[in-house]
């Protein structure tokens, strides 16, 4: 082949409207997802300019960041949150944008509902004013987070000005050990390359380990691409992808679907396609992971000790970070007492996550002194969990099974971890104060969260299988 | 957008790497529906203690409020896509952020708001931190047209990169949404031939 292309090249090139010399490209956007927090200023901008939303049918809104996770049928108590949500409703009405608001059967975390409704499809360009938009890359789409000015840009023109990023291939081969999940894979990679190791790049994940993963597990990996600085991460679509998309609400139907599949099958990197950087990992080196610091790059195998020396990329912040966490270099986290367990967020709140965690929890009781929250990613996940009896497994074990939203991942609503309290969390960021002012977060997989909730301390699932 | 050309100012140094957007503006302050006023909560949890009293030895509370330049450690602006981070820095009065490495989304957000991110070499950044430590009145000069960062009364200067499109927008205060909107015909043409 004369000019071999990567998966990223293929999708990117099919969306370039024009390229400005010594400047960015004009990139056409197929789907624009919006939510209450990063859209109000963009709508105000449109009003000021006297513009409409150019392609409202390609724009989908939901309420997630700011919503309470209990009593969603009642008026929201917090005034600012209530105001932001009512602004979203009014803006969507005024501009003709479809909204899955609070109480709607499709409401949920924006990166959970996109795939489950079949809005997310291979080969698309998808943006949202949220950095975890990278999640949708699991379908072989170019999906990334944007700022509010860019949200306004897409509303006004269905296009974005973007410089083509560099390309990185991350290949993982081999079988995963017992108790190791996709969350552990991505935490492992980030711990190896640091929280800025992929800045400036768009990542493609491949290899036998990735192929063996379910769609939901792949979403967890792509979701956290931004935590190593990458704008996004993508995985070539395969039969699992097509089967997942098929028959979903907004998926193409019948003949149209078959036609799309034959196009989607071309969305693989050509042999000898060039990447700016290639990294390879072996699945057998990966163990259940946990973070000990205040960025996702500060992670280790759960059986290890906190390093005595700063890891690459956290030299100046290492001491400050450990001081914030109340940890000492050279110590273990295993058996460390915890206060909260949070199972949720766009990283790990899908059916598979809840099934894995509930299977372990079934018939057991959580440790008395801790609080444990399970927040399903969407109304549809919530409904399915109730149908399967998963909600009762959790509540019988003393967990709270709440209503869908971003919740304690970023603590915009009432779900906050108090100062100096330790939270074992399936979310994506362990930044200072992320889960509430002074909160101390340790990122883990849903199964590690489940076993730690039962024991009341940081636990290695492999000792309990 | 405010026009940007040259700036001559002292700088406020925060020698911490990986400063994420949750530190720049914590999520609980993102409930506003306008762009104004975020400067009040810039670095909120580093500036105020639990009882909402100013922490007097945090640099932002000590440094001259007239400073137009914020200097920070490597990988500045990582984390969430919230443009509120750029708004907060601009609203506080800064017009330039200098670091040795920026997170991608933050960089775009800054440029879309007339806030210039300048990436210097790691050792230059360290040298600048040292200089400010010795003399907090050290003044810096930024010339966007010539893409030059220099230290007043010093031989040091370093050129920085910015693409021509962003540079033109900043210098003239152009808005990229107006620019894109002027390309509507091309966009309509593209939609006709698009596969997906």
One DSSP character per residue, A16-36 reads EEEE-TTS-EEEE-SEEEE-T
Of A124, A195, A419, the CB nearest to B196: A124
Looking at the predicted structure, is the pLDDT value of residue B62 above 60? yes
The C-alpha angle A100, A105, A111, rounded to 5 degrees, equals 55
- Kindly list the residues from chain B whose CB atom is less than 8 angstroms away from the CB atom of residue A139: none
Q: Which of B16, B32, B195 sits opposite A14 (nearest CB)?
A: B195
CB-based burial label for A83 (10 Å; 0-12, 13-18, 19+): middle
B147 close to A (CB below 8 A): no
Size of interface A-B (CB pairs under 8 A): 195
Spans of all domains in chain A: 7-162, 166-235+261-285, 290-463
The partner residue sitting opposite A229, judged by closest CB among B32, B78, B195, is B78
Q: Which CATH class is domain A166-235+261-285?
A: alpha beta
Long-range contacts of B45-52 (CB under 8 A, 24+ apart): B45/A432, B45/A433, B45/A437, B50/A419, B50/A437, B50/A438
**Which chain B residue lies closest to A320 (C-alpha atoms)?**
B16
Tell whether B165 lies on the interface with A, counting CB pairs under 8 A.
Answer: yes
Shared fold status for A7-162 and A166-235+261-285 = no
A229, B191: Cβ pair inside 8 Å? no
- Domain A290-463 homologous superfamily, CATH: Aconitase, domain 3 (3.30.499.10)
- Which site among A32, A149, A231, A296 would you substitute to test the B interface, given the most B Cβ atoms closer than 10 Å to its Cβ? A149
Chain B 32-91, CB below 8 Å of chain A: which residues?
Answer: 32-35, 45, 50, 73-75, 78-84, 86
Pick from B15, B81, B113: CB nearest A316 = B15
Q: How close, in Å, is residue A238 to chain B by CA atoms?
A: 18
Please state, in angstroms and rounded to a whole number, the distance separating the CA atoms of residues A307 and A323: 14
B1 within a domain of the structure (yes/no): no
- Which CATH architecture is the domain A7-162 placed in? 2-Layer Sandwich (3.30)
Q: What is the residue range of B112's domain?
A: 6-193
Reported as a single tens digit per residue, the pLDDT across B11-59 is 999 999 999 999 999 999 999 999 999 999 999 999 999 999 999 999 9
How is residue A285 annotated by DSSP?
Answer: G
> What CATH number is attached to the domain comprising B11?
3.20.19.10
Q: Do A153 and B180 touch (CB under 8 A)?
A: yes
Query: How many beta carbons lie within 10 A of that of residue B48, not counting itself?
Result: 16
CA angle A153, A434, A377 (to 5 degrees): 70
- Tens of each residue's pLDDT in chain A, 465 residues: 569 999 999 999 999 999 998 889 999 999 999 999 999 999 999 999 999 999 999 999 999 999 999 999 999 999 999 999 999 999 999 999 999 999 999 999 999 999 999 999 999 999 999 999 999 999 999 999 999 999 999 999 999 999 999 999 999 999 999 999 999 999 999 999 999 999 999 999 999 999 999 999 999 999 999 999 999 999 999 999 999 999 999 999 999 999 999 999 999 999 999 999 999 999 999 999 999 999 999 999 999 999 999 987 777 789 999 999 999 999 999 999 999 999 999 999 999 999 999 999 999 999 999 999 999 999 999 999 999 999 999 999 999 999 999 999 999 999 999 999 999 999 999 999 999 999 999 999 999 999 999 999 999 999 998
* Vertex A151: Cα angle to B101 and B120 (nearest 5): 15
Domains contained in chain B, number:
1
**Cβ B177–A165 below 8 Å, yes or no?**
no
Which of the residues A30, A118, A161, A193 would you substitute to probe the B interface, choosing the one with the greatest number of B C-beta atoms within 10 Å? A161
> In whole angstroms, what separates CA A153 from the centre of its chain?
24
Residue B62 zone, left/alpha/beta (φ > 0; ψ -120 to 50; rest): alpha
Other CB atoms closer than 10 Å to residue A24's CB: what's the count? 17
Tokens of residue B170, six digits: 């900043």
The pLDDT of B164-180, averaged and rounded, is: 93
SS3 A217: helix
| Alpha carbon distance A344, A341 (integer Å) | 10
């Amino acid at each position: 082949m004369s000019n071999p292309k990567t998966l990223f090249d293929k999708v990117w090139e099919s969306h370039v409207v024009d390229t400005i010399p010594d400047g960015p490209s004009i990139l056409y956007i197929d789907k624009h997802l919006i939510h209450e927090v990063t859209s109000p200023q963009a709508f105000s901008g449109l009003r000021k300019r006297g513009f409409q939303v150019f392609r409202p049918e390609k724009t989908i809104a939901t309420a997630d960041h700011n919503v309470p996770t209990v009593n969603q049928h009642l008026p929201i108590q917090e005034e600012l949150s209530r105001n932001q949500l009512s602004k979203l409703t009014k803006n969507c009405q005024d501009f003709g944008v479809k909204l899955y608001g609070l109480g709607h059967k499709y409401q949920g975390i924006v990166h959970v509902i996109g795939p489950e409704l079949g809005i997310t499809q291979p080969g698309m360009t998808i943006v949202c004013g949220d950095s975890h938009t990278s999640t949708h890359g699991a379908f072989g789409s170019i999906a990334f987070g944007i700022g509010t000015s860019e949200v306004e840009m897409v509303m006004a023109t269905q296009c974005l000005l973007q410089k083509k990023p560099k390309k990185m291939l991350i290949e993982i081969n081999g079988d995963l050990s017992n108790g190791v999940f996709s969350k552990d894979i991505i935490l492992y990679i980030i711990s190896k390359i640091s929280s800025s190791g992929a800045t400036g790049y768009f990542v493609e994940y491949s290899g036998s380990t990735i192929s063996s993963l379910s769609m939901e597990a792949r979403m967890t990996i792509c979701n956290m691409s931004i935590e190593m600085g990458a704008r996004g991460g993508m995985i070539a679509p395969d039969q699992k992808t097509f089967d997942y998309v098929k028959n979903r609400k907004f998926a193409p139907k019948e003949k149209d679907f078959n036609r799309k599949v034959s196009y989607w099958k071309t969305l693989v990197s050509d042999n000898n396609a060039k990447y700016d950087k290639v990294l390879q990992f072996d699945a057998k080196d990966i163990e259940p992971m946990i973070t000990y610091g205040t960025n996702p790059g500060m992670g280790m195998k759960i059986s290890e000790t906190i390093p005595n020396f700063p890891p690459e990329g956290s030299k100046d912040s290492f001491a400050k970070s450990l001081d914030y966490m109340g940890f000492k270099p050279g110590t273990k986290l295993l058996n460390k007492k915890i206060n909260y367990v949070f199972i949720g967020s766009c990283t790990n709140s899908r059916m598979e996550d809840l099934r894995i965690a509930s299977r372990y929890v079934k018939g057991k009781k959580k440790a008395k002194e801790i609080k444990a929250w399970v927040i399903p990613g969407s109304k549809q996940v919530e409904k399915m969990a109730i149908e399967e009896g998963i909600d009762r497994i959790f509540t019988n074990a003393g967990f709270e099974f709440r209503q869908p939203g971003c919740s304690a991942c970023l603590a915009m609503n009432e779900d906050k971890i108090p100062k100096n309290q330790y939270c074992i969390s399936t979310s994506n960021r362990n930044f200072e104060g992320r889960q509430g002012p002074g909160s101390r977060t340790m990122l883990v997989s849903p199964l590690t969260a489940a076993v730690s909730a039962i024991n009341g301390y940081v636990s290695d699932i492999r000792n309990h299988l | 957008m405010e026009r940007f050309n040259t700036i001559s100012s002292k700088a406020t140094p925060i020698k911490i790497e990986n400063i994420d957007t949750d530190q720049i503006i914590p999520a609980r302050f993102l409930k506003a529906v306008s762009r104004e006023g975020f400067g009040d909560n810039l670095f909120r949890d580093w500036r105020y203690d639990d009882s909402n009293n100013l922490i007097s030895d945090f640099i932002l509370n000590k440094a001259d409020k007239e400073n137009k330049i914020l200097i920070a450690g490597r990988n500045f602006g990582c984390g969430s896509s919230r443009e509120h981070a750029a708004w907060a820095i601009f609203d506080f009065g800064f017009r330039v952020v200098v670091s040795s490495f920026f997170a991608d989304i933050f960089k775009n957000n800054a440029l879309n708001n007339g806030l210039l991110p300048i990436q210097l070499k790691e050792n230059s950044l360290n040298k600048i931190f040292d200089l400010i430590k010795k003399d907090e009145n050290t003044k810096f000069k930024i010339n966007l047209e010539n893409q030059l960062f220099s230290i007043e009364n010093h031989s040091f200067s370093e050129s920085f990169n910015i693409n021509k499109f962003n540079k033109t927008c900043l210098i003239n205060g152009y808005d990229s949404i107006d620019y894109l909107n002027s390309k509507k015909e091309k966009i309509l043409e593209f939609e006709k031939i698009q596969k997906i």
